[in-house]
Structure 1
Amino acid sequence: MTDILRAAFDSLRAAVIEYRWAGFAGVTALISILLFAKAHKAASLNARRLTVPEYKGSAFHIPHGLDRWDALAAFVITAAYAVVAFLGLGQTHGPESFTVFENTGDSAVIELEDRQNITRMWYFCGVRSGSYNLEVSSDGIVWTDSGEIKQEYADVLKWKEAELEILSDVKYVRLTALSTKMYLGEVALFGADGALVMISGRGPGAFLTDEQSEVPESFTFKNSAYFDEIYHVRTAYEHMENLWPYEITHPPLGKIIIALGIAIFGLNPFGWRFMGVFFGVLMLPIMYVFIKRLFGRRSIACCGTIIFAFDFMHFVQTRLATIDTYAVFFILLMFYFMYIYFTQPLDTPAGKTTLPLFLSGLFFGLGAASKWTVIYGGAGLALIWLIRQIMRALWYRKTGERGFAAYLIKTVFLSLVFFIALPAAIYVSAYIPYALAKEAGIYSKEFFRIVLDNQIYMYDYHSDLVSAHPYSSVWWQWILDARPILYYLENFDDGTKSAFGAFGNPLFWWTGILAIIACVWSAVKRKNAIALFILIGFLSQLLPWVFVTRLTFAYHYFPSTVFLALAVSLMFYEIEKAWGRAGRLAAIGFTAAALVMFALFYPVLTGLRASTAYTNGWLRWFNGSYPF
């Protein structure tokens, strides 16, 4: 049975690679169908109130409809953002073949075209940490020890320069592994004139010299991994190679998604970052539909989506090959479909509530299998679900209808299946790469032991994480946008720098504070269910961090920005309702200002080389805490 499952898994992976573009088209089409289904029918319900009895102050409504102009608007925003997001993402090529040193003492030999002095040596680090012994020879018989070359955990999938003295009269270079299971990519040697030396490899060394065209002019984030990519991309590649993963402090699904990008585009920066940008792009039509169904105004949907799209956090974080993007994507979808469930007429039979509940639970499961922080949002879903049942019970009491007990039993059963059984199945199945690496039977006793042991390890790790970091921050600093996390920084002798990090558009985040306060007031004083829904989502993702004492960073606020965008959109709606055309122009003006802010901060969002005088003088809004 294990061999059959393993063969099926390998066949599935091969099929995914072969039909990758069809897969992307299918995913996009599926989401479009789910979001835009029955648009014209829904449009006829635009702005209608529920036909069932309501309570004073209730803001329950039938979601506003969508039409072809909405589809066009969402497409234009999404396409425009995609162009900006993919621009300068990283090289679409790089070293992909590796010499594998299985055992300590394994060696590989490189031969130079001519004898000469070597002044520099560059090498591309593969997965696994350790070191190599470097030896040189002029005849291939007598070897001279020339030191040790290190490949540390922070060097994975990066170009690195060896620390060595000038090597004289070199014809052969030999590298001997001092650790087991070492992966080493391309090696580049430079002569006395600084030019790249022509080299070739013998035996195992062939893979060290077969991609000399991939040797870069310099080391940058465009040809190497940076920040937590050294963990997540490494683990994605390890999953592809059936190796035991290095990064086991988060569930596997996010890294499996990264691996899909690598399988399609290769082991290069564009390949390992592609899926993050792709998911970031897919968030936009979802956000557009969400806002339009909430407020029924195309202008507000456009403004809210654009502000979210070009928020600094969304832009930077989705261009980084880590797992946070996938968590936020699934959070957005699970709350969207819970909203669809939440706003169904109170007399809807339990059977007809199945689809939105199923989809909400499905995306909750996918999110939880990507990162545990999605479970925080699960608490928000549970609260919204409970409010819905209370409203249903009150409706039964007010109308005198019978059958609430039967309805509730069926709903509870479906919810247990969709929000516990289904997510559990998805979560456990995400560990199949672990089983393959251990050669354990899939869904065997050993497999479940692997899953359980990892849960214990993750809990202990996150509970006890007390290490220091120069760019860590706490929850209240996120709200104020006061402490970005620096991802990359390189200073140049001409007074310029290349830098970027994760933080928010101050105009959006600071206005978002007021919008959340307005949601509190509207939910309490006006009993506005939309405001309550947004508030529950926002607090479910933020409040847990208030009580967390471990090391935290600005990107932990990323999920909350989904609801920040909805809150600002609600503010636009109320302003337009009060001021009419002037309110609409105010929302458009605010959106334009947010885009101007994006343009001003663009260098420190993309690593575009800019003068230090500009970044320090114009972009350092919190002196001492903005690291640009």
Structure 2
Amino acid sequence: MAETAVTERPAVAEAPPARPSLLPALNARVPWLVRHAGWLGPIAVALFAGVLRFWNLGYPRAFVFDETYYPKDAWSLLHQGYEGVWPSTANDQILGHPQSIPLESAGAFIAHPPLGKWVIAIGEAAFGLDPFGWRFMVCLLGTLSVLMLARIGRRLFGSTLIGCTAALLLSVDGLQFVMSRTGLLDGVLGFFVLAAFGCLLIDRDRVRARLAEPGVDGNTVRLGLRPWRLAAGLLLGMACSVKWNGAYVLAAFGLLTVLWDQAGRRAAGARFPVRSMLRHDALPAFGSTVLLGAATYLASWTGWFASSGGYDRHWADGRSGLVPAALRSWWHYQSEMWRFNTTLTTPHTYQSNPFSWLVQGRPVSMYWQPVSVGQRGCTDTGGCTTQILAIGTPLLWWTACFALLYLLYRWFFRRDWRSGAVLCGVAATYLPWFQFQQRTIFSFYMVILVPFLCLAIAQMLGAMIGPPGVTARRRAIGSVAAGAIVLAIMGCFLYFLPLYTAEVIPMTGWSDRMWFTTWI
């Protein structure tokens, strides 16, 4: 029997080898994917957003809306250190073949601080005074905003899925898409505001971890140097250096961070958390946000101080005073800017009231060109058109209205700090505009609001799916409903995409997309 067993073994060995199982390889990869999903997911969504935004970025080869101001100011800053004067024929000369750049050395009055134009100038330095050049940096920051929002949502809600959902919604919002492809200041402002919000979230988590350490007394502990709050203060100062409405965000976020400190000390057992916060946290917070922000704002004017040809640069020369003449001239310039920005009431076809912004009642047409039959591929007998319409994806904004109501409920009745944080961002970027009922203002200013709307929707969708521990049936129904909302928003974005990219479409197709007369 032993010999038989031995002689039978070779026959078994000569049988065709079994196909190796893929399960070990998959099991080895899955933990790696799970371990790095917190970055892989956000990067994937950001790449999707980047491809959408950078595709054919140099089209149309034209000055779109207020691009007639900021790219030229950026070029002047790059070469002179201050905004110079351009002749009325400058647009045609810049876009002409061959190109000529008729920049004059005389200083020009400008309505906004210089940092946003310095950012635009980086792209111009790399690619020239060309539509692709002056849109490049705004597009890059718009794409990075998608990446940041995914990470912010992940940290805020403790869920990579919810964070990536918020970022996906941002990537398919029409307003953020258009403003990422246009050389205006608002997209730059939105990047700095969102980055500051993210830094404050990291600072909050680190402070909570410090207060949770054994033996820490919430009444007396000093929290020491807080680099992430310093970074937030720097970013908020940069936001103010792009547009002055960044100051409202600075004030709101400064209040938010000290309220978080108060709540953290209460959780750490402080008997008098307000008193402890005022004693140990309020002054450092003021220095980290307000003082650092003011210093950053002043530094953004370095080019104006270093040059001699800027507008009002020598206004105080020959006037006596204790303060250096350059600073007094600068202060006078700031007062002139304030007067202009608070008294601008010149009527504009596309101006609108903030009451209509959340429902996208009056979008802004930034570019419009009729196209005759037979030109540029137009075959429709009624003619064609090409337009860039700065309108948020309607279904996203309308869904956000319900999401904001849900967050108000969560914050007021459940004391949900996450809802309060998002609502703080909404309030800081939206509510201040209601005081300007007579000023000429536009709905595209709300591009800085869009990330917070996307966070609100993502939080609501997460609640629809359900918390851990719910039944499989409940989770399945919630997942289908949440997925259907996201797909509907993406489909709405694709439907309006021709109006975001100046695609040539028949007039009938354009009319079909004008759902309301106020959109025309």
Distance (Å, rounded) in 2 between the aligned partners of 1:479 and 1:399: 40
Amino acid at match of 1:523: W
Distance (Å, rounded) in 2 between the aligned partners of 1:399 and 1:452: 44
Residues 505 and 597 in structure 1, CA contact (< 8 A), matched pair in contact too: yes
Per-residue CA deviations over 1:333-381 (Å, capped at 9, x if unaligned) read: 1112222333442726543560221121111111111111111112221
Q: 1:391 to 1:267 in 2, by over 3 A?
A: same
Paired residue for 2:358?
479
The alignment covers a number of residue pairs equal to: 427
Residues 248 and 454 in structure 1, CA contact (< 8 A), matched pair in contact too: no
Tell me the CA shift for residue 600 of structure 1.
Answer: 0.8
Residues 156 and 201 in structure 2, CA contact (< 8 A), matched pair in contact too: no
Tell me the CA shift for residue 409 of structure 1.
Answer: 4.0
Per-residue CA deviations over 1:305-349 (Å, capped at 9, x if unaligned) read: 111111001000111101111110011011122223334427265
Paired residue for 1:418?
288
Q: Does 1:360 align with 2:249?
A: no
Paired residue for 2:10?
none
Paired residue for 2:326?
447
Q: 1:459 aligns with which of 330, 335, 338?
A: 338
Paired residue for 1:373?
245
Amino acid at match of 2:44: V
Paired residue for 1:509?
397
Paired residue for 1:235?
73
Amino acid at match of 2:300: A
Unaligned runs of at least 5 residues, structure 1: 1-65, 91-220
Q: 2:424 aligns with which of 536, 539, 542?
A: 536
1:367 counterpart SS class: helix
Amino acid at match of 1:620: M
Q: 1:347 aligns with which of 189, 193, 211?
A: 211
Distance (Å, rounded) in 2 between the aligned partners of 1:253 and 1:285: 22
1:228 counterpart SS class: helix
Tell me the CA shift for residue 403 of structure 1.
Answer: 12
Distance (Å, rounded) in 2 between the aligned partners of 1:461 and 1:230: 19
Distance (Å, rounded) in 2 between the aligned partners of 1:244 and 1:303: 41
Per-residue CA deviations over 1:36-55 (Å, capped at 9, x if unaligned) read: xxxxxxxxxxxxxxxxxxxx
2:367 counterpart SS class: strand
Tell me the CA shift for residue 581 of structure 1.
Answer: 3.2
2:286 counterpart SS class: helix
1:602 counterpart SS class: helix
Distance (Å, rounded) in 2 between the aligned partners of 1:222 and 1:446: 45
Distance (Å, rounded) in 2 between the aligned partners of 1:244 and 1:537: 32
Q: Which has the higher helix share?
A: 2
Distance (Å, rounded) in 1 between the aligned partners of 2:273 and 2:447: 44
Residues 175 and 444 in structure 2, CA contact (< 8 A), matched pair in contact too: yes
Q: 2:47 aligns with which of 79, 88, 94?
A: 79
Q: Does 1:626 align with 2:514?
A: no
Alignment of 1:548-559 (within 5 A): 548-549=436-437, 550-559=439-448
Paired residue for 2:456?
567
Residues 258 and 321 in structure 1, CA contact (< 8 A), matched pair in contact too: yes
Q: 1:222 aligns with which of 60, 64, 81?
A: 60
Residues 250 and 290 in structure 2, CA contact (< 8 A), matched pair in contact too: no
Paired residue for 1:39?
none
Over the matched positions of the two proteins, sequence identity in percent amounts to: 25
Paired residue for 1:308?
170
Q: Which has the higher strand share?
A: 1
Paired residue for 1:391?
263
Amino acid at match of 2:211: D
Amino acid at match of 1:611: P
Amino acid at match of 1:82: G
Per-residue CA deviations over 1:469-501 (Å, capped at 9, x if unaligned) read: 001111121111111100000012221101012
Distance (Å, rounded) in 1 between the aligned partners of 2:443 and 2:36: 38
Paired residue for 1:497?
385
- After superposition, the CA RMSD in angstroms is 2.4
Amino acid at match of 2:123: G
Distance (Å, rounded) in 2 between the aligned partners of 1:247 and 1:71: 44
Distance (Å, rounded) in 2 between the aligned partners of 1:479 and 1:400: 42
Q: Does 1:276 align with 2:171?
A: no
Distance (Å, rounded) in 2 between the aligned partners of 1:331 and 1:493: 43
1:487 counterpart SS class: strand
1:498 counterpart SS class: strand
Distance (Å, rounded) in 1 between the aligned partners of 2:501 and 2:341: 30
Distance (Å, rounded) in 2 between the aligned partners of 1:569 and 1:338: 20
Paired residue for 2:349?
470
Q: Does 1:592 align with 2:481?
A: no
Residues 303 and 588 in structure 1, CA contact (< 8 A), matched pair in contact too: no
Distance (Å, rounded) in 2 between the aligned partners of 1:528 and 1:239: 45
Distance (Å, rounded) in 2 between the aligned partners of 1:247 and 1:285: 36
Amino acid at match of 1:78: A
Amino acid at match of 2:246: V
Paired residue for 1:135?
none
Residues 300 and 587 in structure 1, CA contact (< 8 A), matched pair in contact too: no
Paired residue for 2:56?
88
Distance (Å, rounded) in 1 between the aligned partners of 2:466 and 2:274: 40
1:321 counterpart SS class: coil
- TM normalised by structure 2 equals 0.77
Distance (Å, rounded) in 2 between the aligned partners of 1:542 and 1:244: 29
Distance (Å, rounded) in 2 between the aligned partners of 1:472 and 1:400: 51
1:491 counterpart SS class: strand
Paired residue for 1:97?
none
Paired residue for 1:5?
none
Structure number with higher relative contact order (C-alpha < 8 Å, ≥ 6 residues apart) = 2
Distance (Å, rounded) in 2 between the aligned partners of 1:437 and 1:611: 51
Tell me the CA shift for residue 410 of structure 1.
Answer: 4.4
Instruction: Between 470-479 and 419-428, report the one with greater CA deviation.
Output: 419-428
Distance (Å, rounded) in 1 between the aligned partners of 2:176 and 2:273: 48
Distance (Å, rounded) in 2 between the aligned partners of 1:413 and 1:544: 25
Residues 235 and 247 in structure 1, CA contact (< 8 A), matched pair in contact too: no
